[in-house]
Structure 1
Amino acid sequence: MKRHRRRGCDDLAELARNILKGKDRLHEAVGRAAGGLLGLLGRPRIERVFAQELARRIPLPVDAKLSAAARGLQIAGLYVCIIGSRDLADCACLRDVLRVEGQERLQGLIQGAMEDWRGLPRRMHDVVTDS
C-alpha cells in the first residue's frame, strides 16, 4: 500500500511537470513525423530538418488546454501550501511557476484562479440543477 506523502504540493507539482513534458514530447513527435514524411518522399536532408523544426514549433490545438491544466494544478498546489502553513520556499509549485512564468505572471495567474474559484460554487449549483 502506498502511503500518501504529506509534503505540500509535491504530487501536484510532479503531475503538472509531467503534463508539460508530455506537451513537449507531442511537439517532438509531430516534428519527427514531418521530417520522416519528407524523408520518405526523398527530399534533401536540409528540407527534412527545416520541416522537422518548423512542425515542432507550430502551436497545436491542445497546447493551451494542457498548459492551463498544468498551471491550474500548480496554483492549486500553491493554495495547498498556503492553507497548510508551509514554508513557501519549500513549495514545489511556487518554484516551478516562478521559474517558468516569473513573479509578475504568477500574480496574474493567482488573481485569475481566485476569480475562477469565486465562481465555482455557482457553477457547481448550475451543474447540479441541470442534471
Structure 2
Amino acid sequence: MSRTETDSAVRACAQLVGGGGGDVIAAQAVRYVAPEIWNALVERHRGKGCDALAAFARALLDGKKSLHGVVGSLVGALLAALGRPRIEQVFTQELASRVPLPFGHEIALAARGLQAAGIVICFTDAGMMNDCACLRDLLLNEGKAQLDNLLQGALNDWSELPARLQPVTTAAGQH
C-alpha cells in the first residue's frame, strides 16, 4: 500500500467521521453494547489508538479462516478413513472448508465492528489519525475498496458488515 493510498484513506476516514459519521457509527455500536461501555472504550483509548482492537479483530478473522480449514480437513480425513476415492476426499474437503459455518457471520460481525469502532476512536483523537491500527490492518489485508465498504456499512445496520466485506473476486475468479 503506497503512502498516497494510505493518505487518501486517512482523508476519507477523517471526512466521514468528522462529517457526522462518527456519531452514526457510535449509535450503531450502542445497539450491541451499553452506552456506558462504548463511552468508556472511547475514553480509555483516546490518545492510545486501537492496537488491541485491531489485533483482536484480526485474530477473530484469522481464526474463522483457520476453523474453516479444520472443518475441511476433518471431513477429508473422515472420507479417507471410510476408504473413499481420493477425488471424493479432495472435493469434500474443499467444499466443507468453504461452506459458511453457522456462527461465522457472528465472528465476522464482531471483528468488523471492532475495526469500525477502532477507526472512530482513532479519528476522534486527531493525533492518532495517521497511526490507526484498524485502518492500517484493513488497508493491508483487504484494500481501499473494502475499507470504503466497511465505512459505508458501519453507517447502516452492522449486521450487514460481514457481507459487505466478502472477498472481491477478479475476472479470473481469484481473490
TM score, norm. by length of structure 2: 0.57
The alpha-carbon distance between structure 1 residues 53 and 93, as it changes in their structure 2 partners (threshold 3 A), is same
Q: Which runs of 5+ in 1 are unaligned?
A: 118-131
Looking at structure 2, the residues matched to 40 and 50 of structure 1 have their Cα atoms a distance apart, in angstroms, of 15
* Structure 1 equivalent of residue 52 of structure 2: 11
Q: Is 1:98–2:139 an aligned residue pair?
A: yes
Question: What RMSD over aligned residues (CA atoms) do the two structures have, in Å?
Answer: 2.3
Letter in 2 for 1:64: H
Match of 2:152 among 88, 111, 114: 111
Instruction: State the secondary structure of the residue aligned to 1:86.
Output: helix
Return the alpha-carbon distance in structure 2 between the equivalents of residues 47 and 116 of structure 1.
40
What is the aligned counterpart of 1:31 among 66, 72, 77? 72
Query: What number of residue pairs does the alignment pair up?
Result: 114
Secondary structure class of the residue paired with 2:75: helix
Instruction: Give the fraction of aligned pairs with identical amino acids, expressed as a percent.
Output: 53
Q: Deviations over 1:38-73 (max 9, x none)?
A: 011111223212211111011222222211110110
Following TM superposition, by how much is the alpha carbon of 1:116 offset from its aligned partner in structure 2, in angstroms? 5.6
Conservation of the 8 A alpha-carbon contact between 2:49 and 2:128: no
1:51-66 alignment to 2 at 5 Å?
51-66=92-107
Is the 1:88–1:94 contact (alpha carbons within 8 Å) kept by the matching residues of 2?
no
Paired letter, 1:42: G
CA offsets 1:87-110 (integer angstroms, 9 cap, x no match): 433211002222344334433432
Contact 1:9 1:78 in 2 (8 A): yes
Aligned partners of 2:123, 2:103: CA distance in 1, in Å?
30
For residues 6-31 of structure 1, give each alpha carbon's deviation from its aligned partner in whole angstroms, at most 9, with x where no partner exists.
Answer: 63000000010111111012101110
Q: Name the residue aligned to 1:40.
A: 81
State the 1:86 CA deviation.
2.9
Moved more, 100-109 or 82-91: 100-109
TM-score (norm 1): 0.73
Larger Rg: 1
SS state of the match for residue 13, structure 1?
A: helix
